[in-house]
Every structure is written in C-alpha cells, then in structure tokens.
Amino acid sequence: MKWLMTASLLLGAAAGQAADFYTHWGDGKAELSSYKIVQPRYGELREGYGVMIFVTEDINRRTLIKVESSTPDKDRLYVLKLNNVLKFTTGLYDYSVMTSVFSQVEGGENDFALRKISLSAQEWCGHVFDEALLRDDKIKGHINSYFESEGRRDYELKLPAAFESEDNLLIRIRELKGPFMAAGEERAVEVLPSLWSVRMAHRSHKIMKGWVRKGTVEVIEVAGDSLVAVEWEWKIGERQRKIWTEKAYPHRILRWRDGDGVRGELMRTIRVPYWELHGNGDEGYRRELGIP
C-alpha cells in the first residue's frame, strides 16, 4: 500500500514541476509557513517557533528599498522576498529575530541572485541591526549594535566567483524557476554565513569556503503527512546543515537540522495577503498557523 501512496505523490510532484512562477507568485498573496523550532542558546536547547514569509515585490534598483511610488520600470528590480522570523525564550526573557532576504527573480543563468539581506535581533539586553547590500561585485554592510564590542561600523567584502549566501540558499534550493543543481551534484562554493549565525557566534563577517549538495528523493513524515522530499546539505567552515524541500511545486521548506542542535519542522502553510490582515479578528490566521 505504501508504494502506491509514494508513486501517487511522485506523479503529483512531477506535474507540479510545470507550475509557472509568475502564475503562482503573482497572485497578490504571500506564502506563510510556520515551524516548530529548537534553538541552542546559553548552552541549552530552547523551544520556539518560526514563520517563513515568501512574497514578490519591486525594489528600487539604486537604493534596494521597496518601491511604493510611481518609479519607472527601468528603475525597479522584481524580487522574491523572504522574511524569516524566529521567536524563542531564554528563561525570563525572549528573543525576536527576523532576517529579510531580497533575491532578484530574473537573472538569466543566475536567477534568484542575492541583492540585500538585513537582520534585526531583539532581546531584553538590547538590539542589533545588520544590513548587507550587494553592489559592484562587493558586499557593503553596516551594523548598529547595543554591544560595545560591535558598536556602529561598516564592513566590505569582495564577492568571489562561486559566491552563495546561506540566507539566500533558502530561496535557491526551492528551485522555483527550474533546477538550481542536478540530483546528486555537489558544488564547492564560497559562502557568506547567515547573518543570524554570525550574530550568535559574535564574530566578524567573512566569506568562508564550503559546499552544497543536492541529495536523494525520499518520503518523510511532516505534520502528520507523508511528503516526497529532496534532501539538501551544505557545509560552511565547520558547521553543517541538512534541509529537506518538498518535491512538489512550490517546493516548500519542510525540515532542517544542524550539528549544533538547531532543528525546525513545518507545521502549516497558508497563502494570504498578510499585510491587509491587521484588524481585530484577524488573529484567527495565527491560530490557523498554529502560533501563539
């Protein structure tokens, strides 16, 4: 019986591969997926939740800021934005973290090239803002931190030829306009680690050697469902991560785990124009996502 279910899922996934990016992502809605999270902090594992929000929008080609005016088309970049939200508590006080990733949809052989990342992290001691802009084959960043050791400063990194951003890999591996890598392929890359991992380690920004591998297809259990998934793996310096995406379009991120104890697993997904759902009574959507 199980093989019949697996075959059915695989056939459905194959049909989904033909879905058109612009039809799916140009419908005026965002994809919101909630996750159960385990996050190490202060030597202990903390339980929390996350939400990944994927939505398309236009940003200004020069400023890399969202367009909200009658900016000419030639001055716009069409991007897929990921707002990656993380919430967890450490004893008395809580952490609230969001990483925003802006990935240019159109790029020929380099679709979904990174254009900007920003991170804001708040906890009861203070808060930090970190932003990295990609300009002229360089990463030009600035950080504004509560902590004296970091303070307020700029940083600049030269982009290598085989560059990837760990934050942007969460968009790349979804393969929304076609394959990013072939099945079984392993690719050596130079990677900017996620801004959150840099924040957690209290280290300076630098590009590190690593690799990305696209693995096998398997059936995994997620939120009570059997789903056909693709296993991905990457290594950045000494840190390693495995992550599973759904085989069927739009290839949702289903699960991940790191060697240091970080874990995440999908709870629910909805597609809604979330920016309009700010009235009393719209809290029902949070219940639908299974978050506090």
Here the tokens at position 146 are: 């509560």
Tell me the Cα Rg of the chain.
Answer: 19
Q: Are 101 and 131 in contact (CB under 8 A)?
A: no
Beta strands in 193-250 (DSSP E): 208-222, 225-236, 239-246
- Beta strands at 93-104 and 76-90: parallel, antiparallel or unpaired: antiparallel
DSSP code at position 247: S
> pLDDT tens across 137-150, in order?
999 999 999 988 88
- Specify whether the CB–CB gap between 168 and 199 falls below 8 A: no
Provide the mean pLDDT of the chain: 92
Pairing of strands 186-192, 163-165: parallel
Phi-psi domain of 184 (left: phi exceeds 0; alpha: psi -120 through 50; beta: other): left
Rounded distance, CA 17 to CA 4, Å?
A: 20
Residue 39 CB burial class (10 angstroms; 0-12, 13-18, ≥19): buried
Running DSSP on this structure, what letter comes out for residue 147? Answer: S
Rounded to 5°, the CA angle 208-35-2 comes to 105
Q: Where are the domains of the chain?
A: 2-289
pLDDT tier at 173, thresholds 50, 70, 90: very high
Q: What is the pLDDT of residues 245-267, one digit of tens each?
A: 999 999 999 999 998 899 999 99
pLDDT at position 6 is 39
Question: How is residue 66 annotated by DSSP?
Answer: B
CA torsion angle for 213, 216, 219, 225 (degrees, to 10)?
Answer: 20
pLDDT in tens, 61-103: 999 999 999 999 999 999 999 999 999 999 999 999 999 999 9
> Which tens digit of pLDDT belongs to each residue from 3-23?
333 344 444 443 443 358 999
Give the integer Cα–Cα distance in Å for 88 and 189: 31
- pLDDT above 50 (res 2): no
What is the rounded distance in angstroms from the CA atom of residue 36 to the CA atom of residue 142?
31
| Most distant pair of Cα atoms in the chain: their distance | 61
